[in-house]
Every structure is written in structure tokens, then in C-alpha cells.
């Protein structure tokens, strides 16, 4: 199910005496109906919500992430506009998961992402649980040119490589992606940053090893080895032509991100992660990104929504 945004989606502070110099995101955002005629575009940003927490429910998590896209939009609405010259921001509306039909919603998300990328937009998907990733990937994959090598960089406390033998969930997307790529004779290039040992079973570490997954633990990032981590990211990016960037908000410490299904007592700080994110988007290889696992029903004073929004703001500035 798809629902385009309308003017009521975006509202915020007005600084009318300042004229154009006082504009904010809710005043400059342009609405884009992906069910209608979508213009050719090159270099502009398009937001797309995935209002779904069925994957979280199936993964025995705390539901509420379906409200994530609306919360992030509200947190972004009053941002001062400092977009790079000539760059515009569009809102492409929301894909909704109706009646727990997760697979249908993921397929719909894939079609919308594919459309945006084919038209030349830089897509920013607002989750939703991390089941967002499988639908998002399916759209990216179809937009790739013949022979292009895709890499996935995921900032996450969890591998999300669980078995989907009993059905897909928010814990299975990257295993599904791996199997799809292998079936097509392609390599699964996956780098996960921020892994917590206590949040991943020995089976998951074994699966990661079997699939050739590269990762850096949260402790490996926290000890101040920023240069070494940046070098690992650089080496990973050198092996691929295009990048899909995923940011699971549970990679951050609970003090910064209380509004997630699985809070992280020893997670990362935003100031540690931001330079790494900036490095990735500044590579020129990122085709699409998502921010997932925001659960507004568990948030405190919109703290997690504001973190997600601030990350998107910084990445738009660096990516643009």
C-alpha cells in the first residue's frame, strides 16, 4: 500500500522577517507522488517512508517502528535550510505494511526505490524496522547496471543474519540478501560496524564467517582506533562500484537512542559514528541509504527521532 505525502505532513517554525534567508525544510520540501508521473532528476534527494514493524513483531521485538517515518519528518521540519546550491529535497510519501503482509510491503518498497533511482534521485528511506533493508535492497539491485558491484555498509549492533526458514523478519534481511546475490552469481559484500558480542549468538558469528561478512565490533570503534576503522572502510569501498548504506539506530548507546526496539547500554556515541558516516557518503559511491528501527512509542522527548533527523541532515550536506 502506498500513500503520497500532503502539505500537512510538514510543519514547523516560521521566520518570516528573514525572507529567503530564514527558510526551513518544511518550507522548501517538494511533494512527489510516486504513483503518478515522476520527472527525470539528477542529484536531488527523495525521502521515502516505510511504515512497518511487522518484521520487528516476528522477531519478538517491541513494535512501534511503523510510526518512525512520521516522527523523523516532524523532527526534520524546522531544520534551517542550508542545502548545497541547486539541490532540492523531495518527499516521496510512504509505503505502508497492511494486515501484516510484510513481503507485499517489501516488494512495494523495492518498486518505489527502483523508480527513484532510475529517475536519478538520491533515495533516503525512513524505516520502519530493519526488515526495511530487504525491500530497499531489491530496488537498488534492479537499478544497477550490468556488472556493477554492490557493497553494503551497515551501522548496527546486530548482524541481522538470522535464518528465515520460518519466515522473514527484522533479523533476517542481510541473510536474504546474501542468498539472493549468491543465487544470481554475485558476491555478497557486507561490512557491519558496531557489532555487540552480547547481542549476537555464536550461530550468528558462524553465519557471518560462512558468508564472508566483514565487521568491526562496537568496542573496536570505541577504543579510539578511528584511523584503523576508516582504513577498513576505505579498503571495503575500493572493492565495490556502488554502496547501500544502512543505519540501525540501535547501534547508538541508549543515552542517545532510547526509542528503539532493542536498546544498547554500551552502544556508540553519535560523535564517534558521524565521521565514519561522512566518509562513506563522501565517497561518491552511495546510491541510497536508510535509517531504521526508530520506535516513537518508546522515545524520550523525541530524542531518538531528533538523532535520526540530525544524522540525515549531516549526510545530505556531505552527500550533496
Distances (CA, A) of 54 to 73, 175, 243, 269: 21, 18, 26, 28
Domain that holds residue 82: 2-319
10 Å Cβ neighbour count for 164? 16
Work out how many domains the chain is built from and give that number: 1
pTM: 0.97
Number of Cα atoms under 13 Å in the Cβ half of residue 240: 27
Cell of 320: 550533496
Cell of 236: 571495503
Burial class, 156, CB count within 10 angstroms (exposed 0-12 / middle 13-18 / buried 19+): buried
Taking only the tens of pLDDT, the chain with its 320 residues reads 999 999 899 999 999 999 999 999 999 999 999 999 999 888 899 999 999 999 999 999 999 999 999 999 999 999 999 998 889 999 999 999 999 999 999 999 999 999 999 999 999 999 999 999 999 999 999 999 999 999 999 999 999 999 999 999 999 999 999 999 999 999 999 999 999 999 999 999 999 999 999 999 999 998 767 789 999 999 999 999 999 999 999 999 999 999 999 999 999 999 999 999 999 999 999 999 999 999 999 999 999 999 999 999 999 999 96
Whichever domain contains 29, its CATH number is: 3.40.800.10
- In our burial notation (b when 16+ CB lie closer than 10 A, e otherwise), range 239-262 reads ebebbbbbbbbbbbbbebbbbbbb
Amino acid at each position: 500500500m502506498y500513500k503520497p505525502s500532503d502539505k500537512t505532513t510538514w510543519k514547523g517554525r516560521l521566520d518570516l522577517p528573514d525572507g529567503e534567508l530564514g527558510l526551513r525544510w518544511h518550507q522548501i520540501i517538494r511533494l512527489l507522488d510516486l504513483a503518478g508521473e515522476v520527472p527525470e532528476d539528477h542529484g536531488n534527494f527523495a525521502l521515502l517512508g516505510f511504515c512497518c514493524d511487522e518484521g520487528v513483531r516476528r522477531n519478538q521485538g517491541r513494535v512501534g517502528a511503523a510510526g518512525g517515518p512520521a516522527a523523523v519528518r516532524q523532527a526534520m521540519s524546522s531544520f534551517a535550510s542550508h542545502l548545497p546550491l541547486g539541490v532540492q529535497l523531495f518527499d516521496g510519501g510512504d509505503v505502508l505494511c497492511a494486515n501484516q503482509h510484510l513481503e507485499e510491503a517489501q516488494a512495494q518498497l523495492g518498486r518505489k526505490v527502483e523508480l527513484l533511482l532510475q529517475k536519478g534521485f538520491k533515495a533516503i528511506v525512513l524505516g520502519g524496522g530493519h526488515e526495511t533493508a530487504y525491500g530497499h535492497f531489491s530496488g537498488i539491485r534492479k537499478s544497477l547496471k550490468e556488472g556493477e558491484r554492490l557493497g553494503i555498509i551497515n551501522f548496527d549492533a546486530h548482524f541481522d543474519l538470522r535464518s528465515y526458514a520460518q519466515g522473514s523478519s527484522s533479523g533476517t534481511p542481510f541473510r536474504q540478501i546474501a542468498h539472493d546475490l549468491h543465487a544470481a552469481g554475485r558476491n555478497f559484500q557486507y561490512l557491519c560496524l558496531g557489532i555487540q558480542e552480547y547481542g549476537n549468538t555464536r550461530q550468528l558469528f558462524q553465519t557471518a564467517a560462512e558468508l564472508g561478512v566483514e565487521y568491526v565490533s562496537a568496542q573496536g570503534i570505541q577504543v579510539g582506533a578511528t584511523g584503523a576503522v576508516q582504513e577498513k572502510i576505505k579498503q571495503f569501498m575500493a572493492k565495490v562500484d556502488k554502496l547501500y548504506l544502512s543505519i540501525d539506530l540501535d547501534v547508538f548507546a541508549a543515552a542517545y537512542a532510547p526509542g528503539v526496539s532493542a536498546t544498547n547500554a554500551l552502544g556508540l556515541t553519535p560523535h564517534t559514528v558521524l565521521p565514519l558516516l561522512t566518509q562513506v557518503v563522501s565517497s561518491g559511491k552511495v546510491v541510497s541509504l536508510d535509517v531504521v528501527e526508530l520506535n516513537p512509542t518508546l522515545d524520550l522527548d523525541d530524542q531518538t527521532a531528533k538523532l535520526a533527523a540530525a544524522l540525515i541532515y549531516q549526510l545530505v550536506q556531505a552527500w550533496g
